Amino acid sequence: MTLQRTPIARTGTLKPARPRNRKCAVKGCSGRVTAPESFVRWCSPACGTAIALGKLAKQKTAQQRIAAAEARAERVATKAKLEKFKRKPVWIAEVQELFNKVVRIEDRDKPCISCGQHVVDDGRPGGVWDAGHYLARGGSPHLRFDRRNVHKQCKGCNRPGGTTRAAFRDGMIARIGLATVEALEADQAPRQYTIDDLKQLKAQFAVRLKELKGAVDGKA
């Protein structure tokens, strides 16, 4: 014989949730939240709108950061692809530009190697100083990145006919000594730069340029 259980009837009704009393989530608001729902964090429609707008602003900022990161990654990838097809003359030109900047800053307190004058920068485009090569790059390309051969020179002296080789040589002797000048003139050791060599030189000159600029800015 199976006994059947008689369900016990429940009496009474469910009690309504108590309204919570907590501070409004809006910064600077002193109101209190009395709504029973836990997700309600605002004390008034105005504060609710402010919270909603704040969330939208955070979402927009996050999306902008993601977009910026994706754009940076795309630029890096594009640069890497382009560098694979970059020819040696382009690499040489880029390295030369950095090297010349290093020379001009390292010699910033020295006069022109040829005329010995401290030319005042008058704000003209490109400035008034060049990195002058004693033995020209055309005739001595193996010395284009040799620091003995390159010194700060005013644009007037560096232009064709602006100075004489004798004046340039006198300035070189006064600055680095006759023995070094003669060793430079006798240097015919070939420098066959590969693209990997040029990449390393570019990285080295970029680091040196950053150090020099940091030193200059620190003195300012």
> Quick one: pLDDT band at residue 39, thresholds 50, 70, 90?
confident
pLDDT value of position 15: 60
Say what percent of the chain tops pLDDT 90. Answer: 58
Say which residue, 170 or 83, is predicted with more confidence.
Answer: 170
Structure confidence by residue, pLDDT tens digits, 166-175? 999 999 999 9
N residues, the chain: 220
CB 155 within 8 Å of CB 129: yes
Residue spans of the domains in the chain: they are 40-85, 88-219
**CA–CA separation, 13 vs 105, rounded Å?**
87
pLDDT value of position 203: 97
Structure confidence by residue, pLDDT tens digits, 195-211? 999 999 999 999 999 99
CB 48 within 8 Å of CB 42: yes
Structure confidence by residue, pLDDT tens digits, 1-29? 555 666 555 555 556 556 667 889 898 89
